[in-house]
Chains A and B, each alone.
Chain A
Amino acid sequence: MVGSLIRALRRREQPIVLAIAGAAIVVLAILPIALVLVGVDLGGLSALASVRTWTLLGRTLAIALAVVLVTLAIGVPLGVLLGRTDVPLRRVLWLVHAFPMFLPPFLPALGWFHLFGSQGLIGSSGTAGVLFGDLGFVLVLGVTFAPIVTSLTALGVMGVDASLEESARIVARPWRVSSRILVPAAAPAVALSAIVVFALALSEIGVAMFLRVDLYSAAVFARLGGVDFAPGEALALALPLVPITLALLAAERRFAARRSFAVLGLRAARDPLPLRRWRVPATLACVAATVISIAPLVALAVRYGGAPGVAEWASDAPWNGLLASAVAATIITMLGLIIGHASARRLPGATLLDSACMLAFVMPAAILGVGVMKLWNSPDTQLVYGTLAIVVIGFVARYVVVGVRVVACAVAQSSVHLEEAAAASGARFGRRLVRIVLPVHARGIAFAWLLALVFCLRDIETVILFYPPGSEPLTVRIFTLEANGPPAVVAGLCLVHVAITAAMITLGALVVRRRR
């Protein structure tokens, strides 16, 4: 009897494992949001009847769209140049240009302030006037997020079928090949990057507050950060973001799903497109874009100037952030392996779980944060709530979609035949996962871990509501010290964060390369 039950369970190993992973997603990510939803203040819905609410939403959408346009204007041509042409040192330029996208946006914003604030290195009242306003916000976020477009475009054009490109090169010049073949073929990647940038710009709070720009996300936050603490009302106010989120999800599915990460290394090597007489100006353009990307970090370094006291003010915060992020990235990768694999193989329920993960990502972080507090601050869970474990939970809840999507895209690029053959030979799901999926997609899985780690490292908005006393991550410490701490020390702390992120990316890149 027991034996037959075990055999029956083993036959259904994959659905059971998927169900366990799904239960984890429900507990970690969905339940907190549901708890806040239960407390929705119906009176708060009256805020939706206000013209001001919709005006602010319209204005926010327009600003987010402007950020997208700036990133596309910079990122698409740069992505083609760095991905497929013979610009010298293009890999190095790409790496340096892309780096700021792995940082919390308020770090580059602080750097721009040290550059263009009225007392900045090259600032004046005129530059400060531009910086502190809608235009400054659009430009700062545009430059900070442009590497997302650059990178996905570059990866997209690198993944274009070589035969298509080579046929075109016989009859057309590089410019025409780029505009008529490469960019259209890479459109899904470009579309995905635009969607990601739009979502990030829509939810940005730190930079908006710093540069004094009114955004809808700030209105939601005001219900949580103001005197009249009203998470239910905040959620009511966040309701208009739900159809926008769903629209983004639909757009992502329509334009980018399963094709977005041509990233993970199944590309054929081929010669770069020769730019000939355009090589020098194109190189200069790439260098200029790269310099602009890292200019705020250089400004932070100048502002720091070797000031003493950074280690004292940093305290345990760098370690807290790194520890929590590493653990969270590991859990995210494990969940991503199960759900992402199921999503790529279109198993029942996988799409629903994938959407649940995406919902937790795009939901205003403050609402998820309040839900996490409601769920975990109970007498039975103090070992979780009062320690770094709650930060890990917050990270996993918010960023599990990163692991799911990266693994899904990696698995989707490979044939299912190996797994089917193994299954036909009697290998159960666990065995197939360990013996086939893991080795075949080791690079993609390592990349998922690295990306999840970086997302966790750059987080502020999720954990700022519930980080354990005395155990804040470095980003939170920078944020709480930013306004009144010694500017040189704050700049130094920013550089510590930059160094940690750079070290992790380098380490991850080395691991990924080794697994090639």
Chain B
Amino acid sequence: MGHSPPRTNAKGLAAMMRTLSLVAGALIAIAACKSSSNEVVVYTSVDQVFSEPVFRAFERESGVRVRAVFDTEETKSTGVLNRLIAEADRPQADVFWSGDPVRPFLLIKRNLVEPYISPNASGLAEGLRAADGTWTGFAARARVLLVNKNKVGKEDLPKSIRDLANPRWKGQTTIANPLFGTTTMHVAALFAAWGDDATKHFMTDLKANDVRIASSNGEVKRLVVAGEVAFGLTDIDDANEAIKDGAPVEVVYPDQDGLGTLVMPTTVVLMRGGPHTANGKKLVDHLLSADVERQMAESAAHMPLRADVPTPATVRRVGDIRAMKTDYAKVADEIERIQPWLRAWSGL
């Protein structure tokens, strides 16, 4: 019935295995040869959907290939940070573009950052960059309350993050898991501003008020847009996405008559001992250009820190709001200190 003689079959299979071996070797060799010197490696916790177009533009302008590692939404800001720390003995990244200004301090403390004062930093706000060039802030985000207008009337709009714990909204509010992402920084900033007792009390009140713990700020947006909750605490870029989608939502900059709204510049640092430091500096210069601030304002509602960058009508400037007075270095210390308490609070 057409069966091949075993010997022929065996020869064929032996040949197949040899071929597979060669293919495996060749593919590994191809993979191994893929990297080149005219490239730069960047790790970023800025959303991929916003950061990748910036990298592509840099590639077109400079001819330098960008190899990027992006964070997942759930581990935002800490996934790649941990990778940077884990790779400290042999740094792989040239640049870290952080979605917030605190994580870089965790790298600075570990002596993983190479100070670099970019010529493009001169136009940026003074208080939002380090004088020694270890970190430079630009394109900032605000932490806002995203409100579903179908669930909350104009007259009932929340005004403060304390409204998240207001029994009136029991089970109707949400925040992202404070173990990850910008919510960690926000809680740490509250610890720095209010002190331990008041912040712990507030967090306990949140729990008692059945605040829903979303997996991410993007998830907070989803819950609010879907009307599953009345309002939630999220980042302005997530809120802006909901507005762009035409969702029935309103953005509230909280605590305008008190503590102020937490403002978080995205932050760029040059990594010490990275494999392509010269190209890393080029990328840092590019990120700190007015053009990137404009791009981030248009695509992701980030607030430019340069006065001369035009903004869309929906994007407010830092100077137009009451910003929370924040010592980012102190917040970085708080973040590490409060971790055990936060884990206990989260049940993890």
Q: Do A and B bind each other?
A: yes
Chain B residues with CB under 8 Å of A229's CB are: 78, 81-82, 85-86
The residues of A that contact B75 with a CB separation of less than 8 Å are 225-226
Residues of B in contact with A, size category: 35 or more
Known: A327-B27, A480-B70, A485-B48. A56 touches B347 (CB 8 A): yes
The interface residues of chain B lying within 8 Å CB-to-CB of A209 are 74, 215
B343 in complex: contacting residue of A128, A222, A468, A480, CB < 8 Å:
A222
Of the residues A218, A226, A386, A435, contact of B78 by C-beta under 8 Å: A226
Q: Mark B227-243, 1 if CB is under 8 A from A, else 0.
A: 11000000001100100
CA of A119 to CA of B238 in the docked complex: distance in angstroms?
A: 17
Residues of B1-60 contacting chain A, CB below 8 A: 6-7, 9-10, 13-14, 17, 20-21, 23-24, 27-28, 30-32, 34-35, 39, 41-43, 47-50
Interface of A is mostly: helix
Contact B79 A225 (CB under 8 A): yes
Min Cβ gap B249→A in Å is: 13
**Chain A residue nearest in CB terms to B28:** A389
**Is B348 located at the chain interface by the 8 A CB criterion?**
yes
Note all chain A residues with C-beta closer than 8 A to B90: 377-379, 382, 385
Interchain CB contact under 8 A, B23 and A330: yes
Chain B residues contacting A435 (CB-CB under 8 Å) are: 6-7, 10, 14
CB of A227 closer than 8 Å to a CB of B: yes
A466 touches B339 (CB 8 A): no
Closest partner residue, chain A, to B6 (CB atom): A439
| Partner pick for B226 among A118, A481, A483, CB 8 A cutoff | A118
Report the Cα distance A439→B3, complex, angstroms.
Answer: 12
Interface segment, one of B61-69, B134-142, B319-327: B61-69
By the criterion CB–CB under 8 Å, are A119 and B348 in contact?
Answer: no
Kindly supply a per-residue 1/0 record for chain B positions 102-131, scoring 1 wherever the CB is within 8 Å of any chain A CB and 0 otherwise. 000010000000000000000000000000
The CA of A229 and the CA of B6, in the complex, are separated in Å by 57
Is residue A4 contacting chain B, with contact meaning CB distance below 8 A? no
Q: A118-B227, A484-B47 are in contact. List 20 more A-B contacts (CB 8 A).
A: A56-B347, A225-B82, A225-B180, A226-B75, A226-B180, A226-B184, A227-B336, A330-B21, A385-B90, A435-B7, A436-B10, A438-B10, A439-B9, A468-B67, A469-B69, A471-B34, A472-B70, A479-B72, A483-B74, A484-B238
Residues of A within 8 A of B (CB): 52, 56, 117-119, 125, 128-129, 209-210, 212, 214, 218-219, 222, 224-229, 231, 323-324, 326-327, 330-331, 333-334, 370, 373-374, 377-379, 382-389, 392, 434-436, 438-439, 442, 464-472, 479-486
B interface residue numbers (CB < 8 A to A): 6-7, 9-10, 13-14, 17, 20-21, 23-24, 27-28, 30-32, 34-35, 39, 41-43, 47-50, 65-75, 78-79, 81-83, 85-87, 89-90, 92-93, 106, 179-180, 184, 212-216, 218-219, 222, 225-228, 237-238, 241, 275, 335-336, 339, 343-344, 346-348
